[in-house]
């Protein structure tokens, strides 16, 4: 029908809104007014608004701009959007863009960093289009490899003007657009570490969103936030709560003088990205990913899916998410495949746009979460598919959330008339801790569904195949393929013992893509590792070498000796009339009265009539008995937005449970009140920061005062005695007393690994001026420090080190001089034990540097064992370029001694690498070696 005129537009909008809300409320009439808030008053979440916009467009015969989904918050604003809309002239099938002729696919095998990858492509085909940006079903911009490098260098120059130092985090809160790509590489080219963040979207959840972003900024300590001008208000609130944030800038501001910077040095082991997890089971954590991690993952899955020169990637995924950032953009960049990209809202507002882009650009590879495939089935009408040719689509990757067998089957059937082949559907499994992908099926195999016996699975955690294919009670799980080349996978029990096939347990992995841990979060990093394996936090089983994921460890509920998983029940409850689909959380909550676990379901609904609510509760309880075989202890009917979600739409069950236990489910505040609360929180945070700063200054003053009290008598005694053994004991007692006085614990682990009498060599990492003091406090017997010659000439350090019997060598000749190694070897054979810092020096940037060979040539020449000594925490106590100490715990770990296999150069090199690997595993810092 044509667009209604005048007041008829508002009436038509109210009619359609009322119909939709009535359907969601089981047929009950809805009191919708022109100024009713679509979310707060009418309970229409983003997916319901997608349906609303589709109905309005069909009724009025127009195309609403994609931004309407986020911008329009009331029926009055929808009516105005209809007034301004253009007639629907986009129904015509777009003409396919002629594919670029196949070219020889020359990889960049020598590239050790992402910067080198971009430089390589810019050098070989500077004008070739790398990204085509779409908006509202039209191409609006294109980016070549050369233009990306140029704009990145301009951004780098601007970032350096802000005072950005190598290794600093750069928070990037930009929407999908060419400026994001320039900002990302600008951070890398300036020597920084990009931290993608998602910008504010829904005003109704602004407070929760900004609090989570403040947590990310506090975690990474970013001094610079790169964002759009419209986000300055929100960014200002973030700055008030994060004292480390010094600059909030926009891309035009960084590029305003047009000056191009130079590329900062980068190494394969340096951090290339901090990817913050979405936080579905806890607070966001910054996954540390090096250039080597990212390139290893991209190379592995590129080979696993047989990526070819003619492949074209089409994506709408947000760039702050690992699948959109690494899997689509960086993967396309590395392989030189064109990327066709649209903003997420373009897909959410009109899912057929995704399919039209695949048809038009002959897309071959896409990736999306399961909900996206369901959205296509529900909102891409048959008429809209007419004329589309999707036979080019060879890989439809389904990941990032639990994959539904029903969704896959419906999607394949729905798109079959357009040429989509079922074997193109490719479920995979991955996680940010492994960059993005971990397992993937062989290309073209199609979905593999495993049907298992429900009772055996729930009671014994065994995935026994269902005998009857038609068994409606069977549980279905989707096969996610085998591990990527070079990566390993296992399923273990609670004690870490590998389990046989079809036994459910914890999924663990290892490989070159695996992270070294979470940034500045040693506690969570320790929980991540199980020896040499990393714990995914997921449960699953193997069958025929294929991985089948059954759920999250933290989501599993143990009740009556049975392991219960919430996903199937949540999906079934979400399909009930009156329930907001995708807004159900089932979890276990501690019952303080019985010390047991209560089984609780939080169900979002707009029902307010008593009888309708009682009927809904009974329906939920019946479903629980049917699916779990156990009754629910409580069904909570909650208002919209009570069930918390991550930025990628995953249910945050633990956070929702915390709200339930606190009695705070469903609390809602207006945007103005949220901003006032956030501003107040920012002022409170600044006050706490000021108090903490005063406390830190007071403690630093105390630390220096105690040093001035203890250091002179210890220095005089060591210098006057000139007896190294006795001087070492005096220095050790003084160092330990100093640590106790200032309240900095030094925990020493592995003392049994230090030979008590036999001469040996100790090699330690070097992060701070404090390291020498810590080494003296930790080592119970004397060692000869091998120090750079210029320290011997220092008026204070020189006499003290000579009193301890230190050996002074030329700073830059030790690593390469066999003669120097033999001279030190003579001292070792005479009974001295030697102490080296093989890195030679330290810098402010966290990370383990290359080891010089001197210590290991000495050990090989003298036939001595080398004890790896890993020091953690001293960089936090006294970083480079500052003389203000901070209180932090220090740990020293002595590893098992290692010996060279001979006295050759090659044996010394092998010994160096083995010792460095031991220290790297314990020091808690990334690998900075090239």
User: Does position 99 have pLDDT exceeding 60, yes or no?
Assistant: no
Token digits of residue 536: 């995914």
> Does this chain's domain 7-87 share its CATH topology with 695-923?
no
Q: How far is CA 285 from the centre of its chain?
A: 7
Q: Among 93-107, 400-414, 715-729, name the one with the lowest average pLDDT.
A: 93-107
On whether the CB atoms of residues 25 and 34 are closer than 8 A, the answer is no
Q: Which pLDDT does position 281 carry in this prediction?
A: 40
User: Does position 723 have pLDDT exceeding 60, yes or no?
Assistant: yes
Q: How does 782-808 read in b/e, with b if 16+ C-beta sit within 10 Å?
A: bbbbbbeeebbeeeebbbbbbbbbbbb
Q: Quick one: pLDDT band at residue 312, thresholds 50, 70, 90?
A: very high
DSSP 8-state symbol, 751: G
Closest to 313 measured CA to CA, from 410, 393, 234, 211: 393
For range 695-700, the mean pLDDT? 85
Q: Which pLDDT does position 71 carry in this prediction?
A: 72
Structure confidence by residue, pLDDT tens digits, 529-560: 998 999 998 999 999 999 999 887 776 665 55
Percent of the chain topping pLDDT 70? 84
User: Does position 695 have pLDDT exceeding 90, yes or no?
Assistant: no
Q: Which pLDDT does position 667 carry in this prediction?
A: 55
Number of Cβ within a 10 Å radius of residue 313: 24
Q: Which pLDDT does position 317 carry in this prediction?
A: 92
Structure confidence by residue, pLDDT tens digits, 701-712: 999 999 999 989
Conformation bin of residue 873: beta by default, left when phi > 0, alpha when psi is -120 to 50: left
DSSP 8-state symbol, 566: S
Q: Which pLDDT does position 201 carry in this prediction?
A: 63
Structure confidence by residue, pLDDT tens digits, 171-184: 999 989 999 999 99
Could you state, in order of their start, the residue ranges of all structural domains in the chain?
7-87, 557-662, 695-923
Rounded to 10 deg, the angle between the 610-628 and 567-574 helix axes is 150
Number of Cβ within a 10 Å radius of residue 672: 9
Q: Quick one: pLDDT band at residue 814, thresholds 50, 70, 90?
A: very low
Of residues 472 and 479, the one with the higher pLDDT is 479
Q: Please tell me the distance from the alpha carbon of residue 637 to that of residue 564, in angstroms, as a whole number.
A: 21
Structure confidence by residue, pLDDT tens digits, 200-246: 665 555 555 666 678 889 889 999 999 888 777 666 677 777 888 99
Q: Which pLDDT does position 179 carry in this prediction?
A: 96
Of residues 679 and 838, the one with the higher pLDDT is 838
User: Does position 266 have pLDDT exceeding 70, yes or no?
Assistant: yes
Q: Please tell me the distance from the alpha carbon of residue 469 to that of residue 762, in angstroms, as a whole number.
A: 64
Q: Which pLDDT does position 87 carry in this prediction?
A: 64
On whether the CB atoms of residues 539 and 549 are closer than 8 A, the answer is yes
Q: Please tell me the distance from the alpha carbon of residue 104 to that of residue 310, in angstroms, as a whole number.
A: 10
Q: Quick one: pLDDT band at residue 24, thresholds 50, 70, 90?
A: low
Over the chain, what is the mean pLDDT?
83
Closest to 562 measured CA to CA, from 458, 463, 473, 474: 458
> Which residues on adjacent β-strands are paired with residue 488?
510
On whether the CB atoms of residues 254 and 156 are closer than 8 A, the answer is no
Q: Which pLDDT does position 659 carry in this prediction?
A: 76
Length of the chain: 930
Q: Which pLDDT does position 25 carry in this prediction?
A: 58
Token digits of residue 118: 């971009």
Is domain 7-87 in CATH 1.10.1200.10, yes or no? yes
Q: Which pLDDT does position 815 carry in this prediction?
A: 40
Structure confidence by residue, pLDDT tens digits, 626-675: 776 667 778 888 888 788 776 556 677 777 877 777 676 765 554 555 55
Q: Please tell me the distance from the alpha carbon of residue 419 to that of residue 471, in angstroms, as a whole number.
A: 31
Q: Please tell me the distance from the alpha carbon of residue 503 to that of residue 461, in angstroms, as a whole number.
A: 6
Token digits of residue 766: 């070097």
Three-class secondary structure of residue 773 per DSSP = helix
For range 908-927, the mean pLDDT? 88
Token digits of residue 555: 């989501």
Q: Please tell me the distance from the alpha carbon of residue 885 to that of residue 870, in angstroms, as a whole number.
A: 21
Q: How far is CA 166 from the centre of its chain?
A: 21
Backbone angles phi, psi at 639, to 5 degrees: -70, 165
The CATH superfamily of 695-923 is Glycerol-3-phosphate (1)-acyltransferase (3.40.1130.10)
**What architecture is the 557-662 domain classified under in CATH?**
2-Layer Sandwich (3.30)
Three-class secondary structure of residue 707 per DSSP = helix
For range 897-916, the mean pLDDT? 88
Q: Which pLDDT does position 817 carry in this prediction?
A: 47
pTM of the model: 0.69
> What's the Cα-to-Cα distance from 681 to each of 223, 284, 687, rounded to whole Å?
20, 20, 10
For range 373-398, the mean pLDDT? 91
Q: Among 328-332, 434-438, 569-573, 874-878, name the one with the lowest average pLDDT.
A: 569-573
Question: What is the SS3 assignment for 591-619?
Answer: ECCCCEEEEEEEEEECCCCHHHHHHHHHH
314: enclosing H helix or E strand: strand 313-315
On whether the CB atoms of residues 600 and 632 are closer than 8 A, the answer is yes
For range 878-905, the mean pLDDT? 86
Q: Please tell me the distance from the alpha carbon of residue 58 to that of residue 622, in angstroms, as a whole number.
A: 38
On whether the CB atoms of residues 273 and 193 are closer than 8 A, the answer is yes
Token digits of residue 747: 């925990």
On whether the CB atoms of residues 60 and 325 are closer than 8 A, the answer is no
437: enclosing H helix or E strand: strand 437-440
> Which residues on adjacent β-strands are paired with residue 227?
173
Contacts of 578 (CB under 8 A, 6+ apart): 24, 25, 26, 605, 606, 607, 612, 616
Q: Which pLDDT does position 495 carry in this prediction?
A: 86
On whether the CB atoms of residues 468 and 452 are closer than 8 A, the answer is no
For range 102-123, the mean pLDDT? 78
Closest to 629 measured CA to CA, from 866, 886, 453, 483: 453
> What's the Cα-to-Cα distance from 777 to each of 735, 739, 780, 786, rounded to whole Å?
5, 9, 8, 17
Beta-strand relationship, 365-368 and 395-398 = parallel
């Amino acid at each position: 029908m044509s667009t209604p005129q005048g007041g008829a537009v508002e009436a038509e909008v109210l009619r359609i809104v009322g119909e939709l809300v009535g359907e969601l409320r089981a047929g009950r009439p809805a009191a919708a007014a022109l100024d009713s808030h679509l979310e707060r008053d009418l309970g229409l979440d983003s997916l319901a608004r997608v349906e609303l916009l589709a109905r309005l467009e069909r009724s009025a015969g127009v195309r609403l701009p994609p931004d309407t989904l986020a911008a329009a918050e009331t029926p009055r604003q929808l009516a105005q959007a209809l007034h301004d809309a253009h007639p629907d002239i986009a129904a015509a099938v777009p003409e396919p863009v002629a594919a670029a002729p196949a070219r020889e696919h020359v990889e960049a095998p020598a590239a050790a960093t992402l910067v080198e990858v971009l430089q390589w492509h810019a050098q070989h085909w500077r004008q070739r289009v790398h990204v085509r940006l779409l908006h509202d079903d039209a191409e609006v911009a294109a980016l070549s490899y050369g233009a990306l490098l140029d704009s990145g260098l301009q951004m780098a120059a601007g970032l350096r003007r802000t005072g950005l130092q190598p290794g600093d985090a750069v928070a990037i809160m930009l929407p999908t657009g060419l400026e994001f790509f320039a900002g990302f590489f600008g951070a890398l080219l300036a020597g920084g570490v990009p931290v993608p963040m998602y910008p504010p979207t829904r005003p109704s959840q602004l407070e929760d969103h900004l609090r989570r972003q403040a947590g990310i900024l506090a975690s990474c300590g970013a001094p610079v936030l790169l964002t759009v001008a419209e986000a300055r208000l929100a960014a200002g609130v973030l700055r008030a709560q994060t004292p480390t944030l010094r600059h909030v800038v926009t891309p035009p501001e960084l590029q305003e003088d047009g000056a191009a910077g130079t590329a900062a040095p980068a190494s394969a082991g340096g951090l290339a990205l901090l990817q913050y997890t979405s936080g579905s089971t806890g607070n966001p954590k910054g996954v540390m990913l090096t250039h080597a991690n990212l390139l290893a993952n991209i190379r592995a899955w590129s080979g696993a899916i047989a990526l070819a020169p003619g492949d074209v990637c089409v994506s709408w995924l947000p760039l702050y998410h690992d699948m959109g950032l690494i899997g689509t953009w960086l993967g396309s960049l590395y392989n030189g495949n064109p990327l066709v990209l649209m903003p997420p809202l373009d897909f959410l507002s009109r899912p057929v746009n995704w399919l039209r882009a695949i048809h038009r650009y002959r897309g071959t590879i896409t990736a999306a979460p399961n909900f996206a495939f369901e959205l296509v089935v529900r909102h891409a009408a048959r008429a809209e598919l007419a004329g589309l040719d999707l036979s080019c689509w060879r890989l439809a990757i389904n990941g990032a959330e639990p994959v539904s067998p029903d969704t896959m089957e419906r999607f394949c059937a729905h798109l079959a008339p357009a040429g989509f082949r079922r074997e193109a559907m490719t479920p995979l499994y991955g996680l940010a801790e492994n960059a993005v992908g971990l397992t993937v099926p062989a290309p073209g195999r199609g979905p593999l569904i495993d049907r298992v016996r429900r009772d055996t699975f729930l009671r014994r955690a065994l995935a026994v195949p269902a005998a009857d294919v038609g068994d409606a009670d069977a549980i279905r799980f989707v096969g996610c393929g085998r591990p990527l080349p070079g990566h390993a996978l296992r399923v273990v029990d609670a004690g870490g013992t590998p389990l046989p096939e079809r036994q459910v347990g914890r999924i663990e992995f290892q490989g070159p893509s695996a992270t070294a841990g979470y940034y500045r979060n040693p506690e969570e990093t320790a929980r991540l590792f199980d020896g040499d394996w990393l714990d995914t936090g997921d449960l699953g089983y193997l069958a025929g070498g294929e991985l089948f994921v059954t759920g999250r460890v933290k989501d599993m509920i143990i009740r009556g000796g049975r392991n219960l998983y919430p996903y199937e029940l949540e999906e079934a409850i979400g399909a009930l009339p009156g329930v907001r689909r995708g807004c159900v959380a089932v979890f276990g909550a501690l019952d303080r009265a019985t010390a047991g676990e209560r089984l609780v379901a939080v169900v979002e609904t707009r029902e307010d009539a008593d009888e309708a609510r009682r009927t809904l509760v009974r329906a939920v309880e019946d479903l629980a008995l049917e699916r779990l075989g156990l009754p629910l202890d409580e069904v909570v009917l909650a208002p919209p937005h009570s069930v918390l979600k991550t930025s990628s739409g995953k249910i945050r069950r633990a956070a929702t449970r915390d709200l339930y236990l606190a009695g705070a489910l469903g609390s809602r505040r207006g945007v103005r009140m949220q901003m006032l609360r956030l501003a107040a929180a920012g002022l409170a945070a600044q006050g706490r920061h000021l108090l903490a700063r005063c406390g830190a200054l007071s403690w630093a003053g105390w630390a220096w005062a105690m040093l001035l009290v203890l250091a002179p008598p210890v220095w005089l005694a060591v210098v006057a005695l000139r007896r190294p053994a006795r001087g070492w004991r005096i220095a050790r007692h003084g160092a330990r007393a100093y640590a106790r006085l200032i309240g900095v614990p030094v925990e020493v682990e592995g003392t049994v690994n230090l030979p008590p009498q036999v001469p040996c060599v100790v090699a330690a990492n070097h992060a701070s001026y404090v390291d020498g003091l810590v080494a003296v406090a930790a080592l119970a017997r004397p060692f000869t420090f091998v120090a750079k010659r210029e320290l011997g000439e220092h008026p204070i350090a020189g006499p003290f080190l000579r009193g301890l019997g230190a050996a002074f060598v030329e700073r830059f000749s030790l690593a390469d001089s066999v003669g120097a190694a033999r001279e030190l070897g003579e001292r070792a054979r005479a009974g001295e034990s030697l102490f080296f810092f093989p890195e030679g020096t330290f810098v402010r940037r966290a990370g383990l540097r290359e080891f010089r060979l001197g210590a290991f040539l000495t050990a090989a020449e003298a036939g001595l064992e080398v004890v790896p000594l890993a020091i953690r925490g001293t960089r936090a106590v006294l970083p480079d370029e500052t003389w203000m100490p901070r209180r932090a715990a220090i740990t020293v770990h002595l590893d098992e001694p290692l010996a060279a296999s001979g006295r050759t150069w090659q044996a010394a090199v092998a010994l160096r690498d083995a010792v460095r690997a031991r220290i790297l595993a314990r020091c808690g810092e990334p690998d900075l070696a090239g």
